[in-house]
Chain A
Amino acid sequence: MKLGVLVSDFRNMDDTLSRLKADKLGVILVSNGVYHAAAKEGGKKSWVLEKSPHLYVLSEDLQSRGFSEAEIDTRVKSITYSDLVDLIFNEYEKIIWI
């Protein structure tokens, strides 16, 4: 299946994301999930960035939190709500929010 995962949390994540498997898995960082794209702890980047090559971050949520697109990991693509709609309908068959 093609599964889009809206990751909305940073600190309070359980192991759901690490366990999910799909033919194509997209990690879409929204809400507090955007910290995975931009924050480093002890110089280390988030493990979430290793989960899938299809990484996206919602620019509105990123900028709301004081980050610019220049500060995000280069593997992550910044998207708008409009782009998110396209991802939902065109790239992934099922969408979950965690």
Chain B
Amino acid sequence: MATKKLAFIVKSLPYKTEASRLALTHAIASQTVEIYLEDGDMVEPVLAFMGDGVLNCLKNQKAMTLYGVTSLEQHIKNSLLLDLKVMICKEDVERFGLSEDALIMDAEDIGGETNANIAPFNEIMKEMDSSDHLLFF
């Protein structure tokens, strides 16, 4: 029985390219990866937003209404609903002058119990250090 940890590091801005959306959907795909693995083997994803990527975490995204695409807000809430670990870089949140109120910190409105965590970059580095593979988006 083995667990492999994959770190999905999102530094891209949303919508102009699909990079950050694909990071979320791939991380969420960890929920069904077991069909390919031996019994007891698992993939543990961790999602971290850094740099410009923290702007994916803003609330009130209207992408569905205006473009007919699921918003990054909804994808992040889905991740939290599925109990994925979600980290948002503290230094970059502060650099953009954002408050916690402006960010997607939970998925309570859809029944989620896991919260996102605003964390210093060195904690994100620790997650990268303890991960088996790193995927930058």
Contacts and interface: CB of A to CB of B under 8 A. Distances in A.
Q: Which 5 A-B pairs have the closest CB atoms?
A: A96-B136, A1-B129, A96-B134, A94-B134, A14-B51
B52 interface: yes
A16 interface: yes
Interface string B111-137: 000000000010001001101111110
A32 B135 CA distance: 20
Contacts of A20: 125
B52 A19 contact: no
B51 A21 contact: no
A15 B136 CA distance: 13
Given A94-B133, A96-B134, A96-B136, A16 B128 contact: no
B11 A16 contact: yes
Interface residues of B, number: 15
Nearest to B133: A94
Given A15-B51, A16-B11, A19-B121, A98 B136 contact: yes
B80 interface: no
B50 interface: yes
A1 B131 CA distance: 10
A81 interface: no
B130 to A, nearest CB: 9
A46 to B, nearest CB: 19
Contacts of B125: 20-21
A89 interface: no
Contact of B11 (A1, A3, A14, A94): A14
Contacts of B51: 14-16
A97 interface: yes
B4 to A, nearest CB: 12
Contacts of B121: 19
